Homo-oligomer: A and B are copies of this chain.
Amino acid sequence: MPRYTAPTKDMQFILHDVLKVSQSSIPGYDELEPDFTSAVLEEAGKLTSDVLAPLNSVGDKEGCRLENGMVYTPKGFKEAFAQVKEGGWTGLDMPEQYGGQNMPAVLGSAVGELFSGSNMAFTMYQGLTHGAASAILAHGTDAQKDKWLPNMVSCEWTGTMNLTEPHCGTDLGLMRTKAEPQNDGSYKITGQKIFISSGDHDMADNIVHLVLAKIVGGPEGIKGVSLFIVPKVMVNEDGSLGERNGASVGSIEEKMGIHGNSTCVMNYDDATGYLLGDEHKGMRAMFTMMNEARLGVGMQGLSQAEAAYQNALDYAKDRLQGRAVTGVENPDGPADPLIVHPDIRRSLMEQKSFVEGARAFILWGAMMIDGAHRSGDKDADGLVSLLTPVIKGFLTDVGYDMTVKAQQVYGGHGYIEEWGMSQFTRDARIAMIYEGANGVQALDLVGRKLAQDGGKHVMAFFDMVKTFIKDNSGQDEAFDKDFIEPLKAASKDLQAAGMYFMQTGMTNPNNALSGSNDFMHMFGHVCLGLMWARMGKVSVDTLAAGTDDPTFYETKLATGRFYMARQLPATALHLTRIQSGGDTVMALDATNF
Contacts and interface: CB of A to CB of B under 8 A. Distances in A.
Interface of A: 164, 167-171, 173-174, 194-195, 253-257, 313, 317, 320-322, 325-326, 334-335, 337, 339-349, 352, 400, 404, 407-408, 411-412, 414-418, 422, 425-426, 429-430, 432-434, 437-439, 442-443, 447, 509-510, 513-514, 516-517, 551, 554-555, 558-559, 561-562, 565-566, 569-570, 572-573, 576-577, 580, 582, 584-588, 590, 592-593
A587 B558 contact: yes
A513 B341 contact: yes
Contact of A576 (B170, B195, B349, B569): B569
A434 to B, nearest CB: 7
Given A256-B417, A442-B343, A587 B561 contact: yes
B415 A256 contact: yes
B585 A349 contact: yes
A335 B167 CA distance: 11
Given A255-B417, A334-B174, A590 B321 contact: no
Contact of A345 (B400, B573, B586): B586
B416 A433 contact: no
Contacts of A551: 592
Q: In the assembly, how many copies of this chain are there?
A: 2
Contacts of A430: 415
Given A558-B588, A584-B558, A326 B255 contact: no
B408 A590 contact: no
Best-surrounded residue of A167, A334, A558, A584 (most CB of chain B within 10 A): A584
Contact of A437 (B168, B411, B439, B582): B411
A400 B415 CA distance: 14
B346 A170 contact: no
B573 A587 contact: no
B322 A585 contact: no
A423 to B, nearest CB: 9
A170 B322 contact: yes
Nearest to A516: B343
B345 A585 contact: yes
A555 B592 CA distance: 7
A551 B590 CA distance: 12
Contacts of A320: 167, 171, 174
Contacts of A168: 321
Given A343-B439, A408-B432, A437-B408, A418 B577 contact: no
Contact of A433 (B255, B313, B411, B417): B411
A558 B572 CA distance: 24
A405 B308 CA distance: 22
A20 B548 CA distance: 70
